[in-house]
A and B are shown apart, each in its own frame.
Chain A
Amino acid sequence: MSSTFDTVASIIAETCDIPRDKITPESHAIDDLGIDSLDFLDIAFAIDKAFGIKLPLEQWTQEVNEGKATTEQYFVLKNLSERIDGLVAAKAG
């Protein structure tokens, strides 16, 4: 998880011009780092490319909107990193 988190944190720092030391595994991308949905598309693009996956943003958004999930489950960076690991593992089959 740590290397996935490091990659994600570096992507966020570079994409959103946020100091790297402010980004921790406990950071919530929206609530703590102030990343909006448009900036998150750039982050998703960089994550998709870096890990060779497709973050299911539409599905996550729908689940949050329907109350089936919380934003913390997807946008706290340690949770996001775990989901990325899961998507990578699923792709590797």
Chain B
Amino acid sequence: MKLEGFELIDRIEELRLDAGTILAHGHVPKNSPVFEGHFPGYPLLPGVLLIEIMAQAAGWLVLARLDFRQMGVLATVREAKIRHAVLPDTHITVEAQIEHEGSGYAMVTGRVINGKKTVADAELTLRTLPMPTQRFTDALHRRARALGLMVQA
């Protein structure tokens, strides 16, 4: 993870188009400018970044389901719960599942796990929008490859 660059997912282990699910991983770095303020002398991963991790996993899932023709952007966060603190140098897993795919939006549930413990969960709405430029689409394809995105039908 590179917290200050909002690169919160390191690897996508599995993405199942038929089931509408994704499983991904990230490693919270030992050091980050984010920890300078959150909190001085007591570094904790901010809860909003746990929500963002779920949103990013959901985003890759929606992007793959729409074959990179549209992208999902976070629109609503519902029932978000930050259940446990996440410390630096921690490996976390994120799962997301599409609950409903509407026209122009998707409802997704997300969960962040540390070991066997759920540390955060939420229900998210993602609006789906056209890709702004081909350059952006190409960049997302490159990033998807770097994350190991292997789509299973």
- Contacting A at CB under 8 A, from B79-117, are 100-105, 107
**Segment of A4-12, A18-26, A52-60, A63-71 engaged in the interface with chain B:** A52-60
Is residue A44 contacting chain B, with contact meaning CB distance below 8 A?
A: yes
Q: Does A42 touch B at the CB level, under 8 Å?
A: yes
Instruction: State whether the Cβ of B25 lies closer than 8 Å to any Cβ in chain A.
Output: no
CB B100 to nearest CB in A, in angstroms, measures 6
**Residue B76 is within 8 A (CB to CB) of chain A in the complex:** yes
Chain B residues with Cβ under 8 A from A59's Cβ? 103
How far, in angstroms, from A41 to B104 measured CA to CA in the complex? 9
On whether A54 and B76 interact (CB within 8 A), knowing A41-B125, A41-B127, the answer reads no
- The prevalent SS among residues of A at the interface is helix
Is B146's CB within 8 Å of the partner chain A? no
Evaluate whether A56 and B76 lie within 8 angstroms (CB atoms) in the complex, with A41-B125, A41-B127 already known: no
User: Once the chains bind, are B102 and A57 in contact (CB under 8 Å)?
Assistant: yes
Say yes or no: B76 contacts A49, CB within 8 Å: no
Asked whether B76 lies within 8 Å of A45 as measured between CB atoms, the reply is: no
7 A-B pairs with CB atoms under 8 Å apart are: A41-B75, A41-B104, A41-B105, A41-B127, A42-B125, A44-B103, A54-B101
Chain B contacts to A: CB under 8 angstroms: 75-76, 100-105, 107, 125, 127
Residues on A lying within 8 angstroms of B by beta carbon are 38, 41-42, 44-45, 48-49, 54-59, 61
